[in-house]
C-alpha cells in the first residue's frame, strides 16, 4: 500500500487516561476557544489526515509552505495549516506554554505546546496561497477575517468533537484497513462538494476503470453559501452508488475540512490528503477547488508538474459535458463538438432546472438521484 | 519523448548506392525467397518497429525469448522473430554467409549475414509462446507449418516491399516526428484488428482522456479467415475519426505485421512495438490478441506485472459492453449490471446483424460507420 505523505501516519490522539492527566494538570491554566474550522484542522492533524504535520504551523513552516509550496523538510505542501486567533486572546501566551484548546462550549478538545506566536503579512500570504488579494474570493475573505495572530506548535487531541455526519467520517487508518481488506492495489480518490451528476460519474468512472477501487470523498466542512447541503450530497451519492456502481469497488466517506477555494494549491493539498487515506491516484478535473473564475481552468492540472515527488498519481481529466452529437458525456479531449453540441452539466444547471420545476434528463442526472433531489428540493443548498 | 525499446531506434535500411553495391557483389550468390510474413518482419526490423532487434533471432535469442520472455541482454521481449525456412532450402547455407532475401517475385529485398542455422523443438516452443500445443490455435498451426530450419543473423533492407495500404503505414520515425510536431508529451497506443464499434471507442476515449494524443494503429498483416478486411477497418476508422474525434489528437496508421494470436505474450510485444513508435501508454483490453478461448480473459493484464521495466505504461481496461441500465458503454469495473443488462458489442454481433439486414443501433456502432458497412457489406470479412 502507498505510504502516507512523509512515510508515517501521524496519530496524536491521547488515551482517556492521558487526557485525564492533562486536564488535571492544566485545570487552572489559560485556555483558548478555537473556531470550528480550526477544530477540524486539529482533528485532521491528530488523525493523520494531514500527515506528516504534528501541529499547527510555526512561522518557518508557514513561510516555507506559502513561498516554496514545500515544508521545511522539502516535502510538497501547498496550504498553510494555522491556528489563527484574535490578538487580544493571545497576549498571555508565551513560548513553550501548554494550552488547552476548547470548542465553542468551552470544553477542552486538544492541547497545544506553543512553539511560536507570530503575525504574518496577510496581503502577501494571500497572493501566495490564493493567487489573488481580492476580497471577492471567499477563501481570501475568510483568511483576512480570521485572527491576526498565529500560534504554531505540536498538538494532541483530547476529545473528538461531535459534528454533523460524524459517523460518516472514516479516518485514514479505517480507510487504509478497508483498502487492505479488499486487496485493492490501486485506489483513486475523488474530491467533491456537489451532488453527483453524470459529469462527476464520467470522471469517477474513468478513474475507476484504471484502478481497483475508488474513494468517493466529499468535503463536509465549511463551504460557501449556495453550495450543496452536505446531507443532500451524502443522500444523493448513496442512491447513485447503490444503483450504478459495483459496491465492492467503492468506499464512500466524508472528509471534514474547510474548503479554501485555493484552486491549484488546494488540488495538491487534496491529493496529499487522499494519499494519507491510502489512495494511489487522485482525480483532478477542470478548475479543481476553484471559485468565480479566479483560476485558469487547468491551472490545477499544470501545478502537478512541480511535484514529481508527490507519489500519488494525479489523473488529470478535462471538464466533462454532455454532447448532443456524441450522445454521451465527453470532454474536449475526446469530442470535437464542444463548440456546437455541448450541454454543460453543472450544479448551476441542476439548481436552475429544479427551481423551474423542470424534469432533469437522465443524460445529465440519474433518474433516482433526480427523484431524491425533487423530494428534498427545499433543503438542497446552503 | 519516450526512448525506443533498448534506447535507440534501429535503422537497417541501406542507401540506393549501398544497395547497388550489395547486389553487384552478391549477384551469383545463393538467394532465399521468403514468405510474406517474414518480409514484414524484415521490414519491421529494418525500420525500427522491432527495436532493438537488428536481425532475425539466433538460437540463443530464441531460447532466451521463449523461456525467459527477455532478450539475452535482459530487455523484455515475448515473441520470437525468426526466419523459418524449409530444411531443403537451407542446406547450402553456412555461418557467416551473406544471403540475399527475395520476395515471391524473386526480387531481392534484403540481406542477411548468417550467424546461426538451427532447429528448435517446436512442440516445446509453442507451449512457451502460445501457452498451448493445440493445432486448433491459428498461431500454433501456422508455427508448426512454417519452415523447420531457422536462420538467425543481422539484416539490411535493400528495398521496401509494396503491399496493399503501403502508404498508410507510417514508420516509427514518422510517427515520432508527428508526436514531436504536435508537442504531445503522452501518447496512448491502440491496437486493433476490427472495425471500430462503440466498445472500442470507449477504450480509446478512456485512454485519450488521460494523455495528449492517441495512435490508433490497426494491424494490417496476416490475419485469420473471418477477421475484418483491412480496407473496411481503414475506411470505417477514417469515418469515425472524422466525425467523433478531435482530429489534432489522433494519429491513424496501419501496422504491417502478422497477428500471432499469442494473447498475453503478444500484448507485451504489441506494447513494445508502440513504445518504438513513441507511445508512452498502451491500451490493453479484455483477451488482447487472444483467440478461441485459449487465454484467460485478463491474462494479458496480469503479464505486465512481470515487466516493471517496460517503460511504456499499460492501461489495463476491462472489456466494455453496452449496459441497458446505465444507458451507456461500460465495463464491469464501473457497472454493477453485467449479469442482467449487458449487450456484448462485438465483431460477431455486428456481423450477425449485418447478415440479418438489421439496423445496428447507434449505441453499438456510430451511424456513419454503420452506413459505411452496409454500403460495403459484401467485402467486410476475410
Catalytic residue numbers of B, as ranges = 192-194
Shortest distance, CA A102 to any CA of chain B (angstroms): 44
Query: Cα-Cα-Cα-Cα dihedral of B120, B12, B111, B93, to 10°?
Result: -30
* Residue matched to cell numbers 471538464: A319
Instruction: Work out the angle at residue A154's Cα, subtended by the Cα atoms of residues A97 and A129, and round it to the nearest 5 degrees.
Output: 115
Q: What are the chain B neighbours of A210 within 8 Å (beta carbons)?
A: 206, 210, 315-317
By the CB < 8 Å criterion, does B340 face chain A? no
Span A170-187, pLDDT tens digits = 999 999 999 999 999 999
Cis-peptide, bond into residue A319, ω within 30° of zero: no
Q: Is A210 in Cβ contact with B334 (below 8 Å)?
A: no
Q: What are the chain B neighbours of A336 within 8 Å (beta carbons)?
A: 244-247
Dist CA A190 CA A167 (whole Å):
20
Dist CA A121 CA A144 (whole Å):
10
Task: Compute chain A's Rg from CA coordinates.
Answer: 21
For residue A10, list its beta bridge partners: none
Evaluate the CA torsion angle B358, B363, B367, B373 in order and state its sign.
negative
Span A202-261, pLDDT tens digits = 999 999 999 999 999 998 866 666 677 888 899 999 999 999 999 999 999 999 888 899
Span A328-348, pLDDT tens digits = 999 999 999 999 999 999 877
Among residues A44, A90, A192, A280, the one annotated as catalytic is A192
Tens digit of each residue's pLDDT, chain B (382 residues): 999 999 999 999 999 999 999 999 998 888 999 998 999 999 999 999 999 999 999 999 999 999 999 999 999 999 999 999 988 887 888 889 999 999 989 999 999 999 999 999 999 999 999 999 999 999 999 999 999 999 999 999 998 876 666 668 899 999 999 999 999 999 999 999 888 999 999 999 999 999 999 999 998 866 666 677 888 899 999 999 999 999 999 999 999 888 899 999 999 999 999 999 999 999 999 999 999 899 999 999 999 999 999 999 999 999 999 999 999 999 999 999 999 999 999 877 887 888 788 888 999 999 999 999 888 877 777 6
A193 is known as an active-site residue? yes
By the CB < 8 Å criterion, does A342 face chain B? no
Shortest distance, CA B183 to any CA of chain A (angstroms): 15
Q: Cα–chain-centroid distance for residue B281?
A: 16
Q: Is residue B31 classed as helix, strand or coil in its secondary structure? A: strand
B358 contacts: CB under 8 Å, gap ≥ 6: none
Q: Which of A9, A3, A35, A7 is nearest to A171 (CA)?
A: A9
Dist CA B273 CA B171 (whole Å):
11
Phi, psi for residue B69 in degrees, rounded to 5:
60, 25
Surface-to-core class of residue B68, CB atoms within 10 Å of its CB (0-12 exposed, 13-18 middle, 19+ buried): middle
Q: What are the chain A neighbours of B328 within 8 Å (beta carbons)?
A: 328-329
Detail the DSSP E strand segments found in chain B.
31-33, 55-56, 83-85, 98-102, 108-118, 149-157, 187-192, 213-218, 250-252, 281-284, 313-316, 320-323, 328-331, 342-343
ipTM of the complex: 0.90
Q: Is B315 in Cβ contact with A210 (below 8 Å)?
A: yes
Report DSSP state, residue B328: E
The mean of the pLDDT values for chain A is 93
Q: Is A246 in Cβ contact with B335 (below 8 Å)?
A: yes
Grid cell, residue B339, equals 449479469
Q: Which pLDDT does position B229 carry in this prediction? A: 82
Distances (CA, A) of B307 to A178, A280, B65, B265: 28, 20, 13, 11
Shortest distance, CA A196 to any CA of chain B (angstroms): 15
Among residues A78, A90, A193, A198, the one annotated as catalytic is A193
Say if residue A149's pLDDT is above 80: yes
Span A358-377, pLDDT tens digits = 888 999 999 999 999 888 87
Q: Which pLDDT does position A165 carry in this prediction? A: 66
* Residue matched to cell numbers 520472455: B69
Grid cell, residue B363, equals 449505441
Q: pTM for the whole thing?
A: 0.93
**How many other C-beta atoms can be found within 10 angstroms of the C-beta atom of residue B225?**
7
Q: Is B362 in Cβ contact with A249 (below 8 Å)?
A: no
Q: Which pLDDT does position B369 carry in this prediction? A: 94
Lowest mean pLDDT among A164-173, A266-275, B148-157: A164-173
Dist CA B149 CA B90 (whole Å):
7
Q: Which pLDDT does position A16 carry in this prediction? A: 94
Packing angle of the helix pair B198-210, A198-210 (nearest 10 deg): 80
Q: Which pLDDT does position A355 carry in this prediction? A: 79
Q: Which pLDDT does position A163 carry in this prediction? A: 62
Say if residue A169's pLDDT is above 70: yes
Amino acid at each position: 500500500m502507498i505510504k502516507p505523505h512523509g512515510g508515517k501516519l501521524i496519530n496524536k490522539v491521547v488515551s482517556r487516561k492521558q487526557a485525564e492527566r492533562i486536564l488535571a494538570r492544566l485545570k487552572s491554566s489559560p485556555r483558548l476557544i478555537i473556531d470550528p474550522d480550526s477544530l477540524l484542522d486539529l482533528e485532521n492533524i491528530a488523525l493523520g489526515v494531514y500527515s506528516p504535520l504534528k501541529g499547527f504551523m510555526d512561522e518557518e513552516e508557514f513561510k516555507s509552505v506559502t513561498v516554496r509550496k514545500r515544508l521545511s523538510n522539502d516535502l510538497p505542501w501547498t496550504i498553510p495549516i494555522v491556528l489563527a486567533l484574535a490578538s487580544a486572546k493571545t497576549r498571555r501566551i508565551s513560548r513553550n506554554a501548554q494550552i488547552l484548546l476548547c470548542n465553542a462550549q468551552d470544553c477542552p478538545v486538544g492541547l497545544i505546546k506553543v512553539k511560536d506566536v507570530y503575525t504574518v503579512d496577510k496581503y502577501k500570504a494571500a497572493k501566495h496561497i490564493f493567487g489573488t488579494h481580492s476580497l471577492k474570493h471567499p477563501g481570501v475573505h475568510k483568511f483576512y477575517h480570521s485572527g491576526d495572530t498565529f500560534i504554531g506548535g505540536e498538538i494532541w487531541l483530547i476529545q473528538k468533537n461531535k459534528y454533523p455526519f460524524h459517523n460518516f467520517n472514516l479516518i485514514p487508518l479505517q480507510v487504509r484497513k478497508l483498502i487492505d481488506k479488499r486487496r485493492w492495489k490501486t485506489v483513486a480518490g475523488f474530491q467533491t462538494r456537489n451532488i453527483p451528476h453524470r459529469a462527476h460519474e464520467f470522471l469517477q468512472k474513468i478513474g475507476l476503470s484504471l484502478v481497483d477501487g475508488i474513494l468517493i470523498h466529499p468535503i463536509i466542512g465549511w463551504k460557501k453559501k449556495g453550495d450543496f447541503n452536505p446531507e443532500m450530497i451524502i443522500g444523493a451519492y448513496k442512491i447513485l452508488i447503490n444503483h450504478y456502481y459495483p459496491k465492492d469497488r467503492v468506499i464512500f466517506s466524508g472528509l471534514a475540512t474547510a474548503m479554501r477555494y485555493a484552486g491549484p494549491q488546494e488540488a495538491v493539498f487534496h491529493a496529499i490528503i487522499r494519499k494519507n487515506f491510502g489512495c494511489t491516484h487522485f482525480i483532478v478535473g477542470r478548475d479543481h477547488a476553484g471559485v468565480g473564475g479566479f483560476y485558469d481552468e487547468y491551472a490545477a492540472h499544470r501545478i502537478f508538474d512541480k511535484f514529481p515527488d508527490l507519489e500519488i498519481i494525479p489523473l488529470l481529466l478535462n471538464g466533462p459535458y454532455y454532447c448532443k452529437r456524441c450522445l454521451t458525456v465527453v470532454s474536449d479531449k475526446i469530442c470535437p463538438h464542444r463548440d456546437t453540441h455541448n450541454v454543460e452539466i453543472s450544479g448551476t444547471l441542476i439548481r436552475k432546472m429544479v427551481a423551474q420545476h423542470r424534469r432533469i434528463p437522465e443524460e445529465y442526472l440519474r433518474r433516482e438521484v433526480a427523484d431524491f433531489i425533487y423530494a428534498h428540493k427545499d433543503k438542497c443548498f446552503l
